[in-house]
Amino acid sequence: MNRSQFPSPRRRRGFTLIEVVVVIAIMGILIGLLLPAVQKVRESAVRLECANNLKQLGLAFHNHHSARGFFPSGGWAWYFAPTYSNGRPVTGPEQKAGWGFQVLPYVEGDTAWKAGPVVAIGTTNKVFFCPARRGSQTVTYRDNYQPPLTGGTITHALCDYAASNREGTGVVRRFLPTRTTEITDGTSVTLMVAEKRLNRRFLGQPQDDDNEGYTVGWNSDTIRKTSLPPKFDLNEPTGDGDNLFGSAHPSRMNAVFADGSVRVVSYSISRRRFSALGNKSDGRVVSGDDF
């Protein structure tokens, strides 16, 4: 049989340039529609994880109060290391380290708490870091404690949260711990711990408000002011968080109140209202709709 009597099979042709361009354009549109949704899901997830950190810190504060009869204090000063007596951590007004050190037994940090000041200062704890900003992080530099602990350098585990407030009117105050009975404005409308504002340009480098770490006593690393509203993180060649609360989350930050509830506080909150949230006994009434 002569094969030439039969028509040859039709060859399959490839995509034309126009078809390829159309497909790429469609994919670009779909990716453009998908990315914002993915970013929103991610932001929602990290915000929830951050809120859970604050929930754990709120529980730690209340467990401390149940065990000791008072909330942790703000400590004494940045140049004092955590206080130990006969190898055991001191509690109450004599503890010179800040609230972050004092809540360690209640945030699965009991081992670091008991291991001595150098270990406690340098041991990171996931609960102190907001995932929107960074993972667990430390900085190492000269030992400036009085008296020195190492005679050389020392590693500091950092922190993304701070207590209220630098003005001395909040739940966490210098030297003396606070009891719930002293929160006369109501625990549900009194700020206790929230996210702190930082300059993201210098994360991982020692800076004035992000170098001493979570154990420090009465320092902007762990105590912030409520006389000014919170602000979004900055990313600038100079400057720091300026003692303000704030966060890496857009439009609002997470905060835990003295009743243990976690809520969001908008950056647009008025100065007067935020100041009232920070003061535990000024007599000003702030409703949950005000922030």
DSSP of 69-118: SS-----S-TTPPPPEETTEE--GGG--S-HHHHTGGGTT-HHHHHS-HH
Question: pLDDT grade, residue 55 (50/70/90)?
Answer: very high
CA torsion through residues 156, 157, 161, 165, sign: negative
Residue 10 pLDDT grade (very low, low, confident, very high; cuts 50, 70, 90) = low
Give me the percent of the chain exceeding a pLDDT of 70: 88
| In the chain, where the domains are located | 30-290
Dist. CA 123–CA 137, nearest whole Å: 10
What are 224-254's pLDDT values in tens digits?
A: 999 999 999 999 999 999 999 999 999 999 9
pTM of the model: 0.85
Q: What are phi and psi of 129, to 5 degrees?
A: -125, 130
Q: Cis peptide leading into 199, omega within 30 of 0?
A: no
Instruction: Summarize pLDDT for 173-222 with one digit per residue, the tens.
Output: 999 999 999 999 999 999 999 999 999 999 999 999 999 999 999 999 99
- The pLDDT tens digits of the residues spanning 125-176 come to 999 999 999 999 999 999 999 999 999 999 999 999 999 999 999 999 999 9
The pLDDT value given to residue 34? 61
Following CA atoms 146, 151, 153, 157 in sequence, which dihedral angle do they give, to the nearest 10 degrees?
Answer: -50
